[in-house]
Amino acid sequence: MKFYSVPVEERKESGRYTVLRYRWPGPVEPGQFVMARAVGYPATLDPFLARPFSFYDHDGEWASLLFEVRGRGTALLDAAGKIEVSAALGRGFRIEPSGERAVLLGGGVGIAPLKILGRRLDEIGVPHDVFLGFADGATAVAASDFPGAGVATMDGSVGTHGTVLEAVPDLGSYGTVYACGPNPMLAAVKRAVGEGKLCQLSVEERMGCGNGSCNGCVVPVLGGYVRSCVEGPVFRAEVLAW
């Protein structure tokens, strides 16, 4: 996989999350991801593996990534003045207008791909609502980038007390459902949506290579397993064997 060395042009905190901005002409589709690491490989092998991140924003000139520091790799990325990034990878959301209103559901750092997706829906005139779920008020600060979004927190400190699904008044009123977040959340969304609805889920799996070589990010589907980095990370809900 080819990596490109790019300066971090802007770094900001969004609650407990970090947003890094860098120049990237694209193209980028909603729901695609990038493999990223701090500059140093192969001289230091630290980190040895890049980390996968959904594109948080992209306007044709600038790209940004949203992440939470959870270990060595993300800590190095958080402090980096220059990073190495791949081109856009994976299969993103397929926008399938149904003539009905769409709903975008995000959980934690899973809110990342919804920003580009929302912009794309606006561009083609698809009305939609956004609902975001977080652990607490510190992480819910990131919802400020989604004006008008409904918010839920597990500790009840902001918005609805509970999961993101509990913040949605009537899930059945939407013609299309797009969601990204922890896999238990996505499984709950799939159950709540039921059959007969257009529902696309962006899974969160650990990835080693990002190009399908290591088979470390497989997800169960009807009939077997597929690699989320190549065949996904976005899947139709009905094909996932959850």
Which residue ranges make up each domain of the chain?
4-85, 102-239
pLDDT above 80 (res 42): no
Cα–Cα distance list, 195 to 189, 190, 237 (Å): 12, 9, 9
Most confident of the following: 34-43, 44-53, 94-103? 94-103
pLDDT above 70 (res 228): yes
The pTM of this model reads 0.94
pLDDT above 60 (res 12): yes
What's the mean pLDDT in 185-202? Answer: 95
More confident residue, 17 or 206: 17
DSSP single-letter state for residue 141: G
Residue 172's CB: how many other CB atoms inside 10 A?
Answer: 10
Q: What pLDDT band is residue 229 in, cutting at 50, 70 and 90?
A: very high
Q: What pLDDT band is residue 23 in, cutting at 50, 70 and 90?
A: very high
> What CATH number should be reported for the domain whose range is 102-239?
3.40.50.80
Encode burial over 179-190: b for 16+ CB neighbours within 10 A, e otherwise. Answer: bbbebebbebbb
Q: What pLDDT band is residue 41 in, cutting at 50, 70 and 90?
A: low
What DSSP element (H or E) covers 12? Answer: strand 10-14
Cα 184 from Cα 203, distance rounded (Å): 10
Encode burial over 84-101: b for 16+ CB neighbours within 10 A, e otherwise. Answer: bbbebbbbbbebeeeeee
| Partner residues linked to 133 by β-bridges | 107, 152
Superfamily of 4-85 according to CATH: Translation factors (2.40.30.10)
Cα 197 from Cα 174, distance rounded (Å): 9
pLDDT above 70 (res 131): yes
pLDDT above 80 (res 127): yes
Amino acid at 240: L
What's the mean pLDDT in 214-225? Answer: 94
